[in-house]
Amino acid sequence: MLSRRSILRGLGAAALAATPVSRAGAAAITPVDLRGSIDAPAAGLLPGAEDDQSRRFARMLKQAAGANRPLFLPPGNYRISNIDLPDNARIIGVPGASRIVYTGNGHLFAANGAAHVSLTGIVIDGANRWLGDYAGALVHLRSVGDVVIEDCEIAGSRKNAVLLERCGGRIGRSRLTGAGDAAIHAIESSGLSITGNTVADCGNGGILVHRWTKGEDNTMVSGNRISHIAAKNGGTGQNGNGINIFRADGVMVSGNHVSDCAFSAIRSNAGSNVQIVQNQCLRSGETAIYSEFGFEGAIVSANMIDDAANGILIVNFNEGGRLASVAGNVIRNLKTTGPYAHDGAGFGFGIAVEADTSVTGNVIENAPKWGMSLGWGPYLRNIVATGNIIRRAPVGIAVSVVEGAGTALISDNILQETPDGGVVGFRWNDRATDELALSGANGFSHLTVERNRL
């Protein structure tokens, strides 16, 4: 009678007998092609060749796209330039091993008007070589309905690493480093997702979500790790930001880790209905989180900010910036120095807001100027500051008492170690009142100050 153990022993012996054995007695390894793809070496594109293989690469890519099949690149270097990606172009490699090296003859990858373009598992090395004036990035795509860039490494671009104009799709799980300008610059997007990427050591920006005209964009920027973003082109905020939103409405920025940016970790300029939530913002050279200029609607909540010139600014009511909720953020260890000479309020604020904004449940510690700034001159309207904790700031809450300033409610805050006052009225930068937390803001009908604990 056969036992279960004897049957298994017999199957194992049969498998060994069927396995080809090399002369050294070890089992041979048989390479397996990616099913359904066109294999580059089999079609004459050789990894490691020293000559420029652009023509062969373009011919094979066109053939693969026409057959609706991917082009598979085995490990090795492929030296190419001036590749125009056709519709349905799909390039697949072995992550970290299939390496495309730009030879510097104009542009690397470009597409215009395609329905679908996909780059997966490839390394793109720009080698800091020249890009033509018409090329904005190593990967420059225009009007592509569905872009997929996943598990890629893109490094050494003289300009942007990736530039998308009027595209949708996703960029995910990729590493983009050493770009002269920005890692990802997306303009006039349609439902784009930028998730799970590592961005580092870029000259002027990390992830940029911009529009030529203000409107719905709905891009999602989540779970990215961004670090060491410089501002080589200078300015007062247009460069040097980890994540930058400009004129793009409906953008969500969540769960990102952003550190060591010359200006802001996250900066939204004229972006309405923006959500900036649960981000880690460390060592920002200027304001860690900004919502400014011509926006309506912003939620800034549950962010951790450590080491910045300013914490969170929701400002520019004079330009239409209004309507926000700032809740549950932790802000600490700010400084009075920034990347330029400030001719206005300066640096050293925990939170500054101006119009139609609720500020609740935040914790601010070690703000060298004011823990909180409510209004700027006459630009104050409908502010609620309640339930916040402010520690170790010369002034806990500074509120505008300039003629024309609107309503503010300041209540139920804990203000500790604020030697120059818990709640104080200011005319721009000049102190105009004694402690208001004790007097209840008598004489200032636009203010309600009550139940604050000094």
Q: Check residue 25 and give its pLDDT.
A: 37
Percent of the chain with pLDDT over 70: 92
Q: Check residue 188 and give its pLDDT.
A: 98
Q: Check residue 41 and give its pLDDT.
A: 79
The mean predicted confidence, pLDDT, of the chain is: 92
**pLDDT tens by residue, 166-205:** 999 999 999 999 999 999 999 999 989 999 999 999 999 9
How far is residue 97's CA from residue 76's CA, in Å, rounded to a whole number?
6
**pLDDT tens by residue, 16-70:** 344 443 333 333 333 334 456 788 777 678 888 889 999 999 999 999 999 999 9
Answer yes or no: is pLDDT of 147 > 90: yes
Q: Check residue 354 and give its pLDDT.
A: 98
Q: Check residue 15 and give its pLDDT.
A: 41
Residue 276, CA distances (Å) to 40, 108, 210, 237 in order: 44, 34, 16, 18
Q: Check residue 12 and give its pLDDT.
A: 45
Domains of the chain: 84-450 (2.160.20)
Lowest mean pLDDT among 29-38, 214-223, 415-424: 29-38
How far is residue 193's CA from residue 189's CA, in Å, rounded to a whole number?
10
Answer yes or no: is pLDDT of 279 > 60: yes
